[in-house]
Structure 1
C-alpha cells in the first residue's frame, strides 16, 4: 500500500538511544572508486572480518579488485553488480589507494590477495579453519597444498581441485560443487582469474554450504612457488605491475596500457565532478529520524552528503540501516554528494539486502541522481518518488 510522504518529528535523546544498533559503526567510511565502493580496512581488520564471516556460517564472498577489475566492470554489467554486492571489497592495487586520497577518503593501505591469503592461512592453521583450493593448474594446485602443509603442520586442507580449463558455461559445475560440499570447508580460495572467478563465485556461492569464498587470482601460483612476486620495495611503492609486465610483456603490455588510459581519465572525471569547489559545508543528516509503522525507519538527509558532513553526523548514520527495519532516506534536500556519500548509500543497501530488508532512496535530488548515474549506481539502488511504506497493520 502506498502512503503520502511522511512527516518528520524530532526524537528525544532517549528515543534515539532506544533504536541505536548494538553493533558499532565501522571506524572508517567506504569510498567509491569508479562506482565500486571499497571497504576501508587494513589487512589485519580484513582477516578479522573474514573470521567473523566464518563464525556466522552464512554464505558470503570476498573480492579483491585492482585497476583492471574496475576497467572491466565499466563495460561488464554482471561483473559490476558482483563487485557491488560483495560482502567485503578489498583494495588490491596501490593506484587505488592513491585514487582514494584524491577523492578525499584515503584507504588505509593496499590489501592484496597475495598478501592476505598467506596471513589468513597462518590464522587458519591456528584456529582449525578448513580450506579448499580451487583452480590454477593441477601441478600448481597440488604443489601449493604440499608447501602449505609443510609450512603449517596444523593446517586443514579439506580438499583441492583444478578443473579442466573451460568457459564458465562449459564447466562441470555439478562436479565442482559436489567436491566442495563433500569436503565441508570453511573457506574456498578460487583461482580462475578475473572475471571468471568472480562470476563463478557469484553464481555458486549460495549453494556450496561454505561460509566464505574468495577470488584470489594468481595467489595459488604464488603459494606453489611457480610465479615469483616483485621485491617488497616494488610492492610498497606501487611498482609491482612493472615486475609483472617484465615477466609477461606480450600478454600484459596492451592490457596495462588500455587500463592506465581508461582508469586515469575516469578517475580525473570523477574527482572533477564530485569536488565541492569551495561549497560551504552542511549537515549530512538531520536528527529528524522517525518511524512509520512497525517495519519502516524514515530519515531526512539534507545539505552535503560528503565525508566531512557524514563524520559530523556519525551518530545519526549509526541509526540509519540498523538491520531491524526497512529504511527510507529522503534525499530531496541533498545538494552535493561525494565518493564517500555514494559508497555509504551502497553499503547501507547491501546491509539491508543481506538482512532481508529494503533501502529506498526517496525523491533523490538532481545532484544525487546525476552523480549516482555517472557512477552506474542507479540500477543497483532502489529509488522512489512516492513513499513505498507497507501497511503492516
Structure 2
C-alpha cells in the first residue's frame, strides 16, 4: 500500500444540510460501496462520521466540532430525525445508517477481504467482539484491538497507540469512543495513521458484544431508540436526549421557518 493521504474531498454523493451540517443522503449499501472503493484506491485518511441529532446539535453549539464534522469524507444519517429531514429535502431515504448495523453488514459482506482494528470500548469489550465476529464470519481478519483509558493519553501513550495501529496495517479502523470524542480523535489522528478508513461507531462495540441491549427493531425503525436508551441509562443520557434533543427540535423548527440564520459554509 502506498503512503499517500486522502485527496481533497469532493462530494459526488447527494447531501442535505441540517443546522449548517452536511449530511450525505446515503444508505448502508452506498457506504459499503464507497468504503471498498477507498480501500482499493490505497489512499489513507478517509473519515466516516456516523451522525445523529446529538452530534449535529453539538456541532451547532461548538464551532470547532463543526469543523471536525466538515472534514469527514462521509457524514451519514444515524438517527431517524435526520432521515425524516432528508426526505423533506427530496431524498428517498428508506432507513437510517445505524452504526452497529453498518459495521456488522460490512464484515458480513466483505468477509476475509480486509483487515480490521477495533479501537475503543471498555477493557475486554473489543476482545469479546473479536471473538464473537471470528465465530460468526469465517475468515474475518482482525489485526488488533485496543481499549484506551478514559483519561486523556500522555503524548508518549498517544504515540504508542499510533505506532500500534500503523504496525497492524488495518484497512478499516473502527473507533468506538462515543460522540463527539471519537470524531475529534479521528480528526486529530487521521494524518498520522496509515489507514484507508476510520469509522466512528459510538456504542456499537457494546451493542454487538452483548454488553448493552439494543432497542427492539420497531423502536429503532420509528425514531424511538432514544426512549429505550434513556430508560436503560437515565443518569448518563438524560442530558443528551431531554436537553439536546429538545434543543435540536427547536433549532430545526426555527431554521425551517427561516427565523434562525445558519452558516452554510
TM-score for both structures, normalised by structure 1:
0.61
Alignment partner of 1:208: what SS?
coil
1:69 to 55, 60, 78: 55
1:188 to 167, 173, 182: 173
| Alignment CA distance shift 1:134-1:376 (3 Å) | same
* Cα pair 2:48 2:198 within 8 Å, conserved: yes
* Cα pair 1:41 1:109 within 8 Å, conserved: no
Structure 2 equivalent of residue 376 of structure 1: 263
1:78 to 64, 68, 71: 64
* Cα pair 2:95 2:221 within 8 Å, conserved: no
1:94-134 Cα offsets, whole Å, 9 max, x none, are 011122233454544310111100001113314x2000000
Per the TM alignment, residue 210 of structure 1 is displaced from its structure 2 partner at its CA by 0.4
1:178 to 163, 168, 179: 163
Q: Distance in 1 between matches of 2:127 and 2:222?
A: 32
Alignment partner of 2:162: what SS?
helix
Structure 2 equivalent of residue 135 of structure 1: 120
Structure 2 equivalent of residue 315 of structure 1: none
1:186-222 Cα offsets, whole Å, 9 max, x none, are 0000111111111110111121110000001111111
Structure 1 alignment gaps of length 5 or more:
1-24, 275-370, 379-393
1:37 aligns with 2:22: yes
Q: Where in structure 2 are the equivalents of 1:89-104 lying within 5 Å?
A: 89-104=75-90
Q: Distance in 2 between matches of 1:32 and 1:171?
A: 39
Per the TM alignment, residue 169 of structure 1 is displaced from its structure 2 partner at its CA by 6.8
Q: Distance in 2 between matches of 1:82 and 1:66?
A: 15
Per the TM alignment, residue 256 of structure 1 is displaced from its structure 2 partner at its CA by 0.8
Structure 1 equivalent of residue 217 of structure 2: 232
Deviates more, 1:160-169 or 1:171-180: 160-169
In the comparison of the two structures, how many residue pairs are matched?
254
Larger Rg: 1
Across the aligned residues of Structure 1 and Structure 2, the Cα RMSD in angstroms comes to: 2.0
Structure 2 equivalent of residue 60 of structure 1: 46
Q: Where in structure 2 are the equivalents of 1:1-393 lying within 5 Å?
A: 26=12, 29-58=14-43, 59-105=45-91, 107-126=93-112, 128-167=113-152, 172-273=157-258, 374-378=261-265
* Cα pair 2:71 2:187 within 8 Å, conserved: no
Q: Distance in 2 between matches of 1:91 and 1:262?
A: 18
